[in-house]
């Protein structure tokens, strides 16, 4: 199944049970303006409740930029704190939605991921990168900090000392260096979108267990892991998919999961 949205800054396609969202603003370095953030949020909303999808991949058009960050041309017009808050609220809401979405979300970093582009990447659950691409948050060089809560997310991914060094040095790391620091999970010399789709499409876990694992880990990151994890386990234990897995094990056959 394949689908797309015409005249949108975000292309939407389904492949092998995975939704691929491509920021289609190659002329602007795949930067994120308000319309781009809203289009991506709308695409996520459209798949709410679907149990046939295994995950979401986010990438950028072309092969130069994954995402160059915020649309600086549009941001130059911001003159008041109210305008700043209103302008950034849409993008911040998108990144919060990525974290809260029940499906695993993989950033397929096919080119530069700088500033807000790196913030988008760390809001995803996993980061797959093409060999040699650069990733970094150089906002301090512009006299600011990451504007979409990227400093907090970066710290959760790599830890306080590494986040501090990355943000203060304004370092642009290669995919390989970022992987060594724990910022990137997988580096590939082949097509990074194919790699990410293949990973999600090949997950052996039951659909309910996939979303529950994300919920449990997010809760743990917020210091609420045990209580929520125990409640999630109870839900899954009495699910039809768990019963099917038990039957399949006893009958020595692969399970057929239904997502319920």
pLDDT at 234 over 70: no
In this prediction, residue 237 carries a pLDDT of 63
Beta bridge pairs of residue 108: 128
How large is the average pLDDT for residues 122-131? 98
In this prediction, residue 5 carries a pLDDT of 44
Q: Which residue has the higher pLDDT, 208 or 65?
A: 65
In this prediction, residue 1 carries a pLDDT of 44
CA gap 97, 125 in Å, rounded: 12
In this prediction, residue 177 carries a pLDDT of 97
Q: Which residue has the higher pLDDT, 72 or 59?
A: 59
Give tens-digit pLDDT for 145-177: 999 999 999 999 999 999 999 999 999 999 999
Give tens-digit pLDDT for 27-45: 999 999 989 999 999 999 9
How large is the average pLDDT for residues 64-71? 94
SS3 for 24-89 is: CCHHHCCCECHHHHHHHHHHHHHCCCCCCCCEEEEEECCCCEEECCECHHHHCCCCCHHHHHHHHH
Q: Where are the alpha helices (DSSP H) in the chain?
A: 34-46, 72-75, 81-100, 116-123, 150-158, 160-169, 175-180, 192-201, 207-221, 225-237, 240-251
- Residue 103's φ and ψ, nearest 5 degrees, are -85, 150
pLDDT band, residue 69 (cuts 50/70/90): very high
How large is the average pLDDT for residues 214-223? 81
CA gap 193, 60 in Å, rounded: 10
In this prediction, residue 51 carries a pLDDT of 85
Provide the mean pLDDT of the chain.
89
pLDDT at 94 over 70: yes
Q: pTM of this prediction? A: 0.86
């Amino acid at each position: 199944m394949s689908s797309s949205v015409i005249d949108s800054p975000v292309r939407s396609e389904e492949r092998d049970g995975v939704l691929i969202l491509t920021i289609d603003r190659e002329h602007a370095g795949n930067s994120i303006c308000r319309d781009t953030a809203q289009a991506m949020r709308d695409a996520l909303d459209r798949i709410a409740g679907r149990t046939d999808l295994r995950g979401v991949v986010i990438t950028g058009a072309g092969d130069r930029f994954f995402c160059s960050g915020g649309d600086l041309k549009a941001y130059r017009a911001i003159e008041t704190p109210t305008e700043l808050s209103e302008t950034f609220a849409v993008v911040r809401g998108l990144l919060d939605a990525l974290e809260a979405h029940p499906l695993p979300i993989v950033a397929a970093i096919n080119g530069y991921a700088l500033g807000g582009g790196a913030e988008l990447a760390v809001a995803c659950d996993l980061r797959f990168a093409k060999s040699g691409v650069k990733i970094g948050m150089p906002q301090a060089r512009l006299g600011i900090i990451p504007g979409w809560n990227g400093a907090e997310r970066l710290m959760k991914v790599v830890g306080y000392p590494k986040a501090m060094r990355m943000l203060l040095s304004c370092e642009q790391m290669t995919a390989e260096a970022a992987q060594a620091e724990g910022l990137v999970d997988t580096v590939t010399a082949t097509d990074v979108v194919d790699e990410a789709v293949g990973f999600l499409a090949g997950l052996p876990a039951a659909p309910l267990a996939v979303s529950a694992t994300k919920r449990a880990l997010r809760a743990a990151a917020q210091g609420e892991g045990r209580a929520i994890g125990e409640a999630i386990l109870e839900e899954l234990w009495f699910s039809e998919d768990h019963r099917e897995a038990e039957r399949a094990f006893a009958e020595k056959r692969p399970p057929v999961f239904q997502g319920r």
